[in-house]
Amino acid sequence: MIRGALVALAAFFALTTGTAFADTANVAIQSGAFVSDQVSVLAGDTVSWQNQSLQTHTVTARDGSFGSPHIGLGGGFSQAFPAAGSFAYYCQIHPFMTGEVDAYDVLLHGPTQPVTSGDQIALDGRASAGVSTVEIQADTGSGFADVATAAVDGTGAFHASVTATSSAQYRALAGAGVSPSVQVAVIDRSLVVHASRRGHGRGGDLVRVHVVPNDPGAIVVLQIDKRERFGWWPSQRRKLDSTSSAVFHAPAGARARVVLTLPDGWTPVITGAAMRLPR
Amino acid sequence: MTSRYSVSVLAAVAFFFVLAFSASASAATRTYWIAAVPTNWNVIPNEKDAMSGMTFTPAQTVVPTVVYRRYSPRWRKALPNNPRSVTDGGLIPGPLLHARVGDSIVVHFKNEDTLRHDPHSMHFHGVKYPPSSDGAFIPGFSGGDADVKVGQTWTYRLKAVKNSVGVWPYHDHSMSMEDSIMGGMYGALSIFGRHERKPDREFLVYFNMLHGFMTIDGRAFVGNTPIFRARVGQLVQWDVLTLGDDFHTFHVHGHRWVGPGGVPQDTKTIGPAESFRVHWVEDNPGTWLYHCHVEMHMMNGMIGLYRVSR
């Protein structure tokens, strides 16, 4: 009787210890695709797929290690990933639908928006059971180097704070485990924007933008606030010239702003103040 | 002498008019220069679904992909794929290829896929062509038309014949076609009858899934999808197409058109690789919705604005 109670107690603690670190990642199944088709989880986490499409799908491991039955609209499937590794899967009914679960011993998260130079960067993460400290490393272009150490709490979570100096990749190390890297963009530039009427009877305005310090080749976008676009809409895109400047031709009287973006031409690095262009 | 001179002049003038008339009525050769190029495509540039209020970040909506892009001869200069009135001016879909029945269409294609480094091709529906212009990969049978490797070119030679009238899709049919079509490598041909009146406005509506969203011309949600515009009295033509795996129901608010058998319609179903065009003379000013009426598709992005002015 006592032995039975001890076994039950041990089972209870094993369960609660396991669930203290575990989390669930959700993946939507839509017509023709898993969204997102790649998820990073902590070893021990569960991934839960939900079918939001009218079609029936499966979630089937390439290596046969797991597989769902047919999942209809509104149905779902969950799978735990107890060990680190990369697990490719697909839909047996629509083999072009593919996805991947990457399980790590340690995960790191950073700010998704650019931060200003001198600010504190909050880096959070989770580590597998049994890890007490993690090393945080940064790579600004010359290789990874230690920048902080963080203690792991009873739930597996850890927090670190580093000073933003320049854009860098960050990662966390827990024993032999390495987290996927996270990119943190640090704003070390500023926008100078000047708008004026075009001369000689020509319609519209000129919007001149200058970025300091010089950043020739960087992309700037003129956005116009349009009612029919329900917000800001990219109107023109320019590369900064050798003097780190660009000129836009804009409609007079429009509400406009200039955005300095990453090389993809979309992700904002600095968003200039909104302004009403002269009429 | 005077009389003979007059006759000669009249004959010359008549000959000139015959030449001029036959030239205008004769078939033309329409030449296009197109390349497969990488781009960073934003499915939701305004970063929101204005209907529900849900917001997105570029990290969720920007996808590096490969698209068909129009060029000047010999791929010297990149050009807009289409006028803003046809597709909003983006790079998805590819260039709308126009011809009349009897015309030849020559498409010079170059693979500049420096993103995925995949082979690509162009495969055209609705027109006549020899196997060397099919662009469809068949192991052991197909040639260079179906397997244009990075840096290589191919010229597709097509003919718009009597039963080519209408709108038709084109798309990658190489080994990489699944990834390509999912990423936006598709376009359309619009073939008019020899003497058919061209519309005053032509709108291209391409229903397709992209980056997990249900898109029209590669964009999702009102404000992002094309804003089509017309004026009262104009003949408008909607070219509607889809590829992929889904069926859609094209619907425009406040308007009807004449379907098969003279039956009025305001909604029409379309399946993968099907295409149709509908016409009407615009008579209803206002700001209207057009969308796929499969509710889940509409809620996930397949909806746009149609603005008619007086």
Of all residues in chain B, the one with the smallest CA distance to A95 is B178
CA of B173 vs chain A CAs: smallest distance (Å): 15
Flag whether pLDDT at B16 surpasses 50.
no
Sign of the C-alpha dihedral computed for residues A227, A228, A232 and A237 taken in this order: negative
Q: Provide the ipTM.
A: 0.88
3 state SS of B152: coil
Flag whether pLDDT at B183 surpasses 80.
yes
**In chain B, which among 273-292 make CB contacts under 8 A with chain A?**
287
Flag whether pLDDT at B19 surpasses 60.
no
Q: What is the mean pLDDT of the segment spanning B38-64? A: 95
The CATH-assigned architecture of domain A190-276 is Sandwich (2.60)
Is B178's CB within 8 Å of A233's CB? no
**In chain B, which among 215-244 make CB contacts under 8 A with chain A?**
222-224, 227, 244
Q: Give how far the C-alpha of residue B243 lies from the chain's centroid of Cα atoms, to the nearest Å.
A: 12
Flag whether pLDDT at A142 surpasses 80.
yes
Is A231's CB within 8 Å of B64's CB? no
Global pTM reads 0.75
B88 touches A at CB < 8 Å: no
Q: Are B276 and B205 in contact (CB under 8 A)?
A: no
pLDDT at B25: 55
Of all residues in chain A, the one with the smallest CA distance to B246 is A31
Of all residues in chain A, the one with the smallest CA distance to B178 is A96
Q: Are B223 and B50 in contact (CB under 8 A)?
A: yes
Within 10 angstroms of residue A134's Cβ, the number of other Cβ atoms is: 27
- Tell me B128's DSSP state: B
Mean pLDDT, chain A, whole residue set: 88
Question: Quick one: fold of A106-187?
Answer: Immunoglobulin-like (2.60.40)
Q: Give how far the C-alpha of residue B194 lies from the chain's centroid of Cα atoms, to the nearest Å.
A: 19
pLDDT band per the 50, 70, 90 thresholds, residue B43: very high
pLDDT at A17: 38
pLDDT in tens, B230-272: 999 999 999 999 999 999 999 999 999 999 899 999 999 999 9
In whole angstroms, give the CA distance from residue B89 to residue B229.
13
Do the bridges between strand B303-309 and strand B227-231 make them parallel or antiparallel, or are there none, so unpaired? parallel
CA nearest to B174, candidates B244, B242, B118, B127: B118
Flag whether pLDDT at A198 surpasses 50.
yes
CA of B81 vs chain A CAs: smallest distance (Å): 16
Residues 6+ apart with CB under 8 A from B211: B41, B43, B61, B63
Extents of the domains making up chain A: 22-102, 106-187, 190-276
Q: Are B207 and B217 in contact (CB under 8 A)?
A: no
Residue carrying structure tokens 């570029």: B58
Considering the four listed CATH numbers 2.60.40.420, 3.30.1300.10, 1.10.357.10, 3.60.15.10, the one that applies to the domain covering A22-102 is 2.60.40.420
Flag whether pLDDT at B189 surpasses 90.
yes
Flag whether pLDDT at B5 surpasses 50.
no
In whole angstroms, give the CA distance from residue B72 to residue B79.
7
Q: Are B240 and B277 in contact (CB under 8 A)?
A: yes
pLDDT at A201: 63
Question: Comparing A106-187 with A190-276, is the CATH topology the same?
Answer: yes
Alpha-carbon dihedral angle through residues A256, A259, A263, A266, given to the nearest 10 degrees: -60
pLDDT at A200: 60
